[in-house]
Structure 1
Amino acid sequence: MSGPAFLTRLVALTRKETRQMLRDRGNLIVGLLLPVTLILLFGYGISFDVKGGRVAVVLEDSSPTAQDLVAGLRGSRYLAPVRVPSFAEAERMMRAGEADAILRVPIDFSRRLAAGEGRVQLVLNGVDSNTASTIEGYVRGALTLRAQHAADRAGGVAGGGVVIAQRMWFNEAGDSTWFLVPGLIVLVMTLIGAFLTSLLIAREWERGTLESLFVTPVRPLELILAKLAPYLVIGAIDLALCLIAAKWLFEVPMRGSLPIIIGSSLLYLLVSLALGLLISGITRSQFAASQVALLTSFMPAMMLSGFVFDTRNMPIVVRAISQLLPATHFMGLIKTLFMAGDYWPAILRDCAILTLYAVVLIALAHRCARKSLD
């Protein structure tokens, strides 16, 4: 295979695929407009934070100390405290869905606090466990901060109580958008790569245009590279949109090196493109290809990669399956690059895994695209 002839055929095929992609308005809409929609939807419409958490406050101790402690709840934009006269009324609100939590300050709170063992009761609505856990953290944080301020004003730790030092690394704002938006890059790269390219060879088989290529000098590798090139460009454009939105629209910190973020993202895009072509070559049907791509790439990338759920909380079998997904390794890598910076052991490990996936998938796609009608 001579070099000039290879390049000539590759350029001609790439031009053909580019013109075909530009004529296919549906793919262009999915490739360019859908990622923008996902960016806005996940950035603005989806959040794991709870704002305006309704807390019914039962203040049985009317001392200034108790009132000052509870006043800390009003300083949190995530909580909406409401004073109620009795625990029975607070319980009624909880049962009616009018309160997410009940904070009860007992009548002997001030006296016990002076003795170094002040306690309050927090009752959470467990219908939504995630919301309950989040509100618990907000209430604990607000009360701890208020107690610390009171101790500082008193010149020490008030009443000999225990002071809890709370600190959060990498996400100081406690904003779920900071880890949703980097994860969105994984979903967009998966969508552009596996889902769109899974239709390419299948469409050629359905239209009968692939057979015409078999009478030409075109080789399988040239066909694979030509089909990857246009969608690699589309993916690069979508990656740029994601990075711009993360930096200037959602103000997500980008502590890692930008070239490494871009390079690792393009590497994962290549893996997704190769997976899509492999699916397309195996199924030979656009409908089947789209369904297989959805079930084997996009849905696992959303549900099993750590984007929504922490993989450490999954059953061991599901966790093992998640480790076989390229998206899982890229998800951990991109979040590390955004939030923690250039941690080279993770960069080298995950990039090596993604490179291995790319080589294997391209080889399998090349085998499926061999010039045979089987």
Structure 2
Amino acid sequence: MKWVRLKALMRKEVLEIIRDPSSIAIAFVLPVFLLLIFGYGVSLDARRIAIAEVVDHPTQLTASFLAELERSPWFRPRRYLSRAEAEQAIMRGDVDAMLWLRSDFTRLTLSSGAAPIQLAVNGVNANQARIIENYINGTWLLWLQQEATGQGVHLAAPVVADVRVWFNPALRSRDYLIPGLIAIIMTLIGALLTALVVAREWERGTMEGIMVTPVSKVEILLGKLVPYFVMGMGGVTLSTLMAVFLFGVPLRGSLLLLLGTTALFLLTALGMGLVISVLTRNQFVAAMVAIVTTFLPAFILSGFLFDIRSMPPIIRVLTHIVAARYYVTILQSLFLAGDVWPVILPNSLGMAILCTFFLSIALLLFRKRLD
């Protein structure tokens, strides 16, 4: 391998990038667009939950409890005259839950601490149903304690929970999702950047001209890999700045460690794209294969949205061949917890193995022949 030839190939690729702005759009515009869409659109938080209120016998105490619900940022209460109307509202999907305060609510509230309240929740979305149940229980206990204190009554609770939340004390799902989103987006971007490279050369008929030159296949692949690696690192940097300054996600880990693990992951993604570009000679086919074989597995099997430990054993085994699995874990650790080496080292090793594998496969499959 000669530096002069490699430099010439990289200069050729840079000129191709400048002449064809689609690569620049993939590296910089697409990450911003996807991060804005997913960052604001994907959320595991349940806010402004529509809940039906039914009160059999309105009193000052029922009004106080319902006022507590209305002040909460989690609920959007709607008043109904009867339980039957509220149940129909749940059936229609107008509300997600029904809270029924029966006629003896006031009499039993502070006397026994077990007021007759019925909560019916739409369980179609099981995750949201559990969240609604927990929110109502928390609001009820808080209001009950406030009322007891205001009337000079001691409310003896069997268990007092002293909650401590590590790493994400605000309990914002966005802080957890944005680092994972960066990994998912860069998987797609990295694979697309190189998946279209060799296929584009075949479509334009310039691959034959490259093959008759004395350049080696290592020089050809490096000449195409290095410029897109630089562009990919620029896209990751832009995504990280958006995560910190636009979405307010804390970055508690080392910036150098973030750059190092990102470079390793980006090489892995670019290697996957090179393998695809070597196997396909059509840009459209290369793009479709890149989306199906990189983006979709990364979205489903990386632990970004779905906990890997809850998956069937055979699926858990398959996740080990998804590079985004390791990068998502590293990013979530660096952003939310810091430099946790027992997490970073084994996941970096997994990415290094996959990076070596894909780059080696791309080198073995690439041939300086027309057949």
Fold shared, TM-score > 0.5 on shorter chain: yes
2:38 corresponds to which residue?
42
1:122 corresponds to 2:115? no
Q: 1:172-211, aligned counterparts within 5 Å?
A: 172-211=169-208
2:55 corresponds to which residue?
59
1:284, CA displacement in angstroms?
A: 2.7
Cα distance in 2 between the residues matched to 1:241 and 1:141: 40
1:330, CA displacement in angstroms?
A: 1.0
Cα distance in 1 between the residues matched to 2:184 and 2:336: 18
1:270 corresponds to 2:273? no
CA contact (8 A) 1:57 1:84 kept: yes
**Which of residues 7, 11, 26 in structure 1 aligns to 2:7?**
11
CA contact (8 A) 1:55 1:82 kept: yes
Task: Describe the shift of the 1:246–1:133 C-alpha distance in structure 2 as closer, same or farther (beyond 3 A).
Answer: same
Residue identity in the other structure for 1:145: L
1:353, CA displacement in angstroms?
A: 0.8
Task: Describe the shift of the 1:148–1:311 C-alpha distance in structure 2 as closer, same or farther (beyond 3 A).
Answer: farther
2:92 corresponds to which residue?
96
Q: 1:344-363, aligned counterparts within 5 Å?
A: 344-363=341-360
1:293, CA displacement in angstroms?
A: 1.0
Task: Describe the shift of the 1:70–1:361 C-alpha distance in structure 2 as closer, same or farther (beyond 3 A).
Answer: same
Task: Describe the shift of the 1:168–1:90 C-alpha distance in structure 2 as closer, same or farther (beyond 3 A).
Answer: farther
**Which of residues 74, 77, 85 in structure 1 aligns to 2:81?**
85
1:227, CA displacement in angstroms?
A: 0.7
1:76, CA displacement in angstroms?
A: 1.7
1:366 corresponds to which residue?
363
1:310-359 superposed Cα distances (whole Å, 9 cap, x missing partner): 22333333332223211111112211211122111110010111111111
**Which of residues 234, 239, 242 in structure 2 aligns to 1:242?**
239
Cα distance in 1 between the residues matched to 2:267 and 2:147: 56
CA contact (8 A) 2:104 2:116 kept: no
1:153, CA displacement in angstroms?
A: 5.1
CA contact (8 A) 1:10 1:225 kept: yes
Task: Describe the shift of the 1:63–1:36 C-alpha distance in structure 2 as closer, same or farther (beyond 3 A).
Answer: same
Cα distance in 1 between the residues matched to 2:313 and 2:297: 16
Task: Describe the shift of the 1:250–1:113 C-alpha distance in structure 2 as closer, same or farther (beyond 3 A).
Answer: same
Query: How many residue pairs end up in the alignment?
Result: 370
2:108 corresponds to which residue?
111
Cα distance in 1 between the residues matched to 2:143 and 2:70: 11
1:225-284 superposed Cα distances (whole Å, 9 cap, x missing partner): 111111112111111111111111111111222221222122111100011001111223
2:304 corresponds to which residue?
307
Cα distance in 1 between the residues matched to 2:33 and 2:341: 33
Cα distance in 1 between the residues matched to 2:45 and 2:162: 22
Residue identity in the other structure for 1:101: A
Identity %: 42
Cα distance in 2 between the residues matched to 1:152 and 1:273: 62
Cα distance in 2 between the residues matched to 1:328 and 1:280: 23
Cα distance in 2 between the residues matched to 1:69 and 1:268: 52
**Which of residues 226, 231, 235 in structure 2 aligns to 1:229?**
226
1:52-83 superposed Cα distances (whole Å, 9 cap, x missing partner): 21111223465555544443322221211223
Q: What is the TM-score when the length of structure 2 is the normalising length?
A: 0.90
CA contact (8 A) 1:150 1:158 kept: no
Q: Secondary structure at the match of 1:123?
A: strand
Q: Secondary structure at the match of 1:158?
A: coil
Cα distance in 2 between the residues matched to 1:45 and 1:340: 24
Unaligned runs of 5+ in 1: none
1:42, CA displacement in angstroms?
A: 1.6
Q: What is the TM-score when the length of structure 1 is the normalising length?
A: 0.90
1:3-49 superposed Cα distances (whole Å, 9 cap, x missing partner): xxx21111111101111111112222222211111121122233232
Q: Secondary structure at the match of 1:57?
A: strand
